[in-house]
Amino acid sequence: MLVLGRKPGEYVVIDDKIFVKVVKSEEGHLRLAIDAPREVPIVRGEVYEKALVK
């Protein structure tokens, strides 16, 4: 797992197709903007884990 530090306005690019940008950060809370092709599923971690348990 790669761990990166990013500030609001900064972003990372995955495979030249997926952009993950930090849009807000305050008091330990973080908001991300994800720009990816429609065919790439994006699921919150807690939803993903719940689906694995069933």
Tens of pLDDT along 10-34? Answer: 999 999 999 999 998 788 788 999 9
* Cβ proximity of 33 and 21 under 8 Å: yes
Give the mean pLDDT of the chain.
Answer: 93
| SS3 category, 33 | strand
Identity (one letter) of the amino acid at 12? V
Read off the pTM: 0.81
**Can you say whether the dihedral through the CA atoms of 48, 35, 2, 8 is positive or negative?**
negative
Report the share of the chain in percent with pLDDT over 70: 100
